[in-house]
Each structure stands twice: as C-alpha cells, then as structure tokens.
C-alpha cells in the first residue's frame, strides 16, 4: 500500500507539472476561482517561500539523504503508527517529486496560486500533509 501511495503522489506531481509546462509559459497565470485561486507557472529556484534560493545542490543532497534514511529505516517505520508511516511515505514522495525537477531543470515547477500564499505544487502538498500526519501521530497516537 505504501508503494502505491508513493507512486500515486509521484505520478500526480510529475503529470501536473508536465501539463503546466506544456500549456503555460513561465509567469503566465490563469484565474480558476475569481481572484481567489489561479494557476500560475512559476520556476522556483528555492524552497518554500523562496527560502535558500539557488541552493540547488543543498536540496538535491537533502532529498537524497532523506531517501537513504527512509530506506535504511523502512522496516522500523512500517511498525510505527499508520499516520506516522504513511506521513513518511508522503513526505518522501513529495521530496522525490521536487528532486526530479531540480535534477532535470535546476528549479521546481510550481503552479497552485492562492494569491495570499506562495505558489506551490502537488509535491509540496504531499510534504506538508506528510509532516502534518507525522506530527498528529506523535502527539495523539504514539505512546512511549
């Protein structure tokens, strides 16, 4: 099941980025829900909120380290609470999705634009939901 989740997230991320790249020009924006939600093609050289702009190698190495850590600990992670384990899987899938962009393009393709928040993508959603799931498990479900 974890492998299915991983690949669903990865395929959704890469497919949406492929479509945005094929249909839009960088910087192009199309309103979807009035002034609330737009699709905006952004080439992001940094992380969330534009932090560490142009630190491509840092992000590549960080994502690779996360992959190594996950695979080294996968048996132990499987025995954890499901919210924690699947949160880790979602986090990893998001990191790999953005890693593919960084290796292939040197930047990450972002496109969800709520205008009150920095533009983001499916991988970013997976990372945030994965971390939220892990925090939920740690606070409410995992006992010492």
Active site residue 110: yes
Reported residue count of the chain is 144
Distance (Å, rounded) from C-alpha 120 to C-alpha 30? 15
Catalytic entry in 13, 101, 113, 124: 124
Let me know: does 62 contact 47? Beta carbons within 8 Å.
Answer: no
Query: How buried is residue 20: exposed, middle or buried, by Cβ count under 10 Å (0-12/13-18/19+)?
Result: buried
Q: Give me the catalytic one of 13, 101, 110, 113.
A: 110
Q: Is 124 a catalytic residue?
A: yes
Active site residue ranges: 110, 124
């Amino acid at each position: 099941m974890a492998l299915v989740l991983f690949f669903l997230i990865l395929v959704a991320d890469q497919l949406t980025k492929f479509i945005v790249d094929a249909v839009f020009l960088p910087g192009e924006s199309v309103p979807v829900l009035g002034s609330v939600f737009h699709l905006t093609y952004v080439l992001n050289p940094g992380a969330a909120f534009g932090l560490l702009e142009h630190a491509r190698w840092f992000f590549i190495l960080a994502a690779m380290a996360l992959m190594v850590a996950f695979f080294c600990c996968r048996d132990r992670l499987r025995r954890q609470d499901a919210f924690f384990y699947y949160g880790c899987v979602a986090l990893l899938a998001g990191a790999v999705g953005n890693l593919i962009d960084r290796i292939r393009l040197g930047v990450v393709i972002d496109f969800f634009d709520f205008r009150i928040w920095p533009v983001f993508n499916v991988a970013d959603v997976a990372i945030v939901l994965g971390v939220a799931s892990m925090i939920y498990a740690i606070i409410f479900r995992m006992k010492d």
